[in-house]
Amino acid sequence: MSTPFPFTAVVGQDDLRLALLLNAVSPAVGGVLVRGEKGTAKSTAVRALSALLPEVDVVAGCRFSCDPASPDPACPDGPHEAGNGGKRPARMVELPVGASEDRLVGALDIERALAEGVKAFEPGLLADAHRGILYVDEVNLLHDHLVDLLLDAAAMGASYVEREGVSVRHAARFLLVGTMNPEEGELRPQLLDRFGLTVEVAASREPDQRVEVVRRRLAYDDDPGGFAARWAEEEAAVRARIVAARALLPSVRLGDGALRQIAATCAAFEVDGMRADIVMARTATALAAWAGRTDVLAEDVRQAALLALPHRRRRNPFDAPGLDEDKLDETLQEFAGPEEDGDPDPDGPGGPGGGGGQPPSDGPQEDGGSAARPEAGEGGEPQASGGGEQAPARASEPFRAKVLSVPGLGEGAAGRRSRARTEHGRTTGARRPQGALTKLHLAATVQAAAPHQRARGRSGRGLVVRRDDLRQATREGREGNLVLFVVDASGSMAARRRMSAVKGAVLSLLLDAYQRRDKVGLVTFRGAAADVALPPTSSVDAAAARLESLPTGGRTPLAAGLLKAHEVLRVERLRDPARRALVVVVTDGRATGGPEPVALSGRAARLFAAEGVASVVVDCESGPVRLGLAGQLAGELGGTAVTLDELRADSIAGLVKEVQGNRRAA
């Protein structure tokens, strides 16, 4: 087994280390979501934490890590006799992004359950992580149904596996840690709320600190064992402090004054629901225990708010997480009790000398920390720039867009846009299983087995079922698509009001893509060429940022834009052949760039029609006289055209438009 990088040797990232330690002291806090750019020691810090956790007492031979002092009466390996156990190190279990549902929650042998009436259960990763750490790297890329299962188990402290009336339950209490790079896509707000704490991390811009990071990493790579030995004393001190804080935690008093500050803070920042209040209370209590105190102070409430509230204030995927610290201080001061009027003793347990809730420091190199995502500037009205190019126009207010879907039945990644064969959804039929049986179609299985009962010598009431009788349920749900935006940024679109409306429409479609779990890409064309402003990605907020800064002006190379989009789709098919594409061309239909622009754009459009690519043209033409060029383009693409007004879900047009062009879904 490789030697992990020592937790106390991580340079900077104070908020990250503190959040992890608070969860080690009190797992009831609810886990940590670590957000940040690549190469910021997210995974290193999480893996290092497992070495600091105290050993756990377990029942000998129990696959579910039951505590011998109070074994789980419902344990599938039970019943256990109290006191029959030993010790083992706390585990850190990693959940791969591509894991199956059976790998996460465990697998039930349906064949044995039907034929023998035996609950043969193979534990999954949730059982392995019980009383340890469950780590999900790139949690934002995990399938939604796996995230739901994971967070439900974390909230209930138990995992349930139910298949056609046969169920197994086992304890699953663990420290949940997820890491993610926001550039690769966001978690839904509902899922963000299920993580107790969140931390934003970024690489330090201080040269001295960066030098120390490189120095320690190189020393570790050269001699992992020797490097860890040099930090053994610091590691032992932190481990002892965790044990002491856990012992002190039940004695910490959360007074009415602190509770009022917590409630007032959550109300002032308008967070939804009551989970934030509960998480803040548990975090403040853990902070006091970590600092060696038995009373929760205002400084604990303040630190708890900074860790527990930023991610709960996001209203849409384009909002940057963060907290107004001036407003936080004003709220805490307004609701401060008499005991909080003065500053704590700087030499007492709440001050710097006693820890003050901060992680252990290893000297002057540890003064770095997490950096919040910078807020976007307000800016002024767009001004014209030289060379015929105009400064970016602001997007108009987004609206709820109509549903645009790909015709037919796909088999892509789970999502919420187009019809597809999926593992989750309504049952539409049955088939013979290919590989392991995951979703039993009970009626079809009984129907297949029934004609053979006499030949199989059935004598009792039970049904004699064999492997060949089993039938897998086929289900229909929804898939996520690749929504590729092809946006005309030429001079004909550059009138300020028109481009503002166009950006508002694209922003609305991006919001819709976020909610439907799509990948998005952005191709723009103007002047003499087309550019891939954003390659296909799951990060719709990155697409929104590129859209916001999109300049306009010049001629209209429509053919170049279509050909560039065709090339993007060709490459993406090689990477992800199961994901179907929806091309959204935003233009007034004019083509003025290059030789024979109209004929060339027509030939480029017919490439999409020949390959059966679903498409829609958002017609941006305005004014009393309209040429209808966008409608002609839609016909050549084999798609359909909608105006900006028709794109609204609440428009007079009324009906939801499904992208089917001149073809009918099979």
Distance CA 606, CA 585 (A): 14
Judgement on whether residues 492 and 582 belong to the same structural domain of the protein: yes
Residues labelled catalytic: 275
Note the pLDDT of residue 142.
81
Judgement on whether residues 460 and 509 belong to the same structural domain of the protein: no
Note the pLDDT of residue 111.
64
The domain that holds 275 is classified in CATH as: 1.10.8.80
Judgement on whether residues 462 and 591 belong to the same structural domain of the protein: no
pLDDT exceeding 90 applies to what percent of the chain? Answer: 29
Chosen domain end from 305, 333, 361: 333
132-145 residue pLDDT tens: 889 988 888 787 77
Local confidence band at 658 (pLDDT 50, 70, 90 cut-offs) = very low
Distance CA 652, CA 664 (A): 25
Note the pLDDT of residue 625.
66
Average confidence (pLDDT) over 328-346: 68
Range in 13-27, 228-242, 244-258, 390-404 the model is least confident about: 390-404
Average confidence (pLDDT) over 134-162: 83
What DSSP string describes 386-454?
STTPBPPPPPPPP-PBPP---SS-B--SEEEEEEEEESSSEEEEEE--SSS--SB-HHHHHHHHGGGTT
440-498 residue pLDDT tens: 887 888 888 888 888 888 887 777 888 888 888 888 888 889 999 999 988 777 555 67
Average confidence (pLDDT) over 539-549: 82
Judgement on whether residues 461 and 496 belong to the same structural domain of the protein: no
Tokens describing residue 375: 């807020």
Distance CA 435, CA 544 (A): 42
Distance CA 579, CA 581 (A): 7
Note the pLDDT of residue 305.
93
564-623 residue pLDDT tens: 999 999 999 998 899 999 999 999 888 887 788 889 999 999 999 999 999 999 998 876
Distance CA 226, CA 209 (A): 22
Distance CA 5, CA 47 (A): 8
* Domain coverage including residue 459: 426-432+439-478
- The answer to whether residue 387 is domain-embedded is no
The domain that holds 99 is classified in CATH as: 3.40.50.300
Average confidence (pLDDT) over 269-289: 92
Judgement on whether residues 622 and 518 belong to the same structural domain of the protein: yes
- The answer to whether residue 383 is domain-embedded is no
Average confidence (pLDDT) over 186-190: 72
Name the H helices within 291-422: 298-308, 325-334
408: left (phi over 0), alpha (psi -120 to 50) or beta: left
Chosen domain end from 333, 363, 389: 333
Judgement on whether residues 467 and 488 belong to the same structural domain of the protein: no
Task: Count up the domains in the chain and report the number.
Answer: 4
User: In this structure, are residues 286 and 18 in contact, taking their beta carbons and an 8 Å threshold?
Assistant: no
Note the pLDDT of residue 25.
93
Judgement on whether residues 293 and 281 belong to the same structural domain of the protein: yes
Distance CA 7, CA 51 (A): 8
- The answer to whether residue 15 is domain-embedded is no
- The answer to whether residue 461 is domain-embedded is yes
Judgement on whether residues 33 and 108 belong to the same structural domain of the protein: yes
- The per-residue b/e assignment along 146-177, b for 16 or more CB within 10 angstroms, e otherwise, is bbebbbebbeeebbebebeebebebbbbbbbb
- The answer to whether residue 408 is domain-embedded is no
- The answer to whether residue 420 is domain-embedded is no
* pLDDT for 225 beyond 50: yes
What would the 3-class secondary structure string for 585-637 be? EEECCCCCCCCCHHHHHHHHHHHHHHCCCEEEEEECCCCCCCCCHHHHHHHHH
- The per-residue b/e assignment along 533-559, b for 16 or more CB within 10 angstroms, e otherwise, is bbebbbbbbbbbeebbebbbbbbbbbb
- The answer to whether residue 414 is domain-embedded is no
CB-neighbour burial class of residue 118 (10 A; exposed 0-12, middle 13-18, buried 19+): exposed
Local confidence band at 381 (pLDDT 50, 70, 90 cut-offs) = very low
385-406 residue pLDDT tens: 334 566 677 888 888 888 888 9
CB-neighbour burial class of residue 121 (10 A; exposed 0-12, middle 13-18, buried 19+): buried
Judgement on whether residues 509 and 447 belong to the same structural domain of the protein: no
Judgement on whether residues 523 and 459 belong to the same structural domain of the protein: no
Note the pLDDT of residue 117.
62
656 or 258, greater pLDDT = 258
Judgement on whether residues 472 and 529 belong to the same structural domain of the protein: no
DSSP 8-class letter at 249: G
Judgement on whether residues 174 and 302 belong to the same structural domain of the protein: no
CA-closest candidate to residue 109, choices 95, 127, 98, 123: 123
Chosen domain end from 202, 236, 260: 202
- The answer to whether residue 230 is domain-embedded is no
* pLDDT for 352 beyond 50: no
Return the amino acid letter for 324. D
Note the pLDDT of residue 632.
93
Local confidence band at 298 (pLDDT 50, 70, 90 cut-offs) = very high
3-state class (DSSP) for residue 15: helix
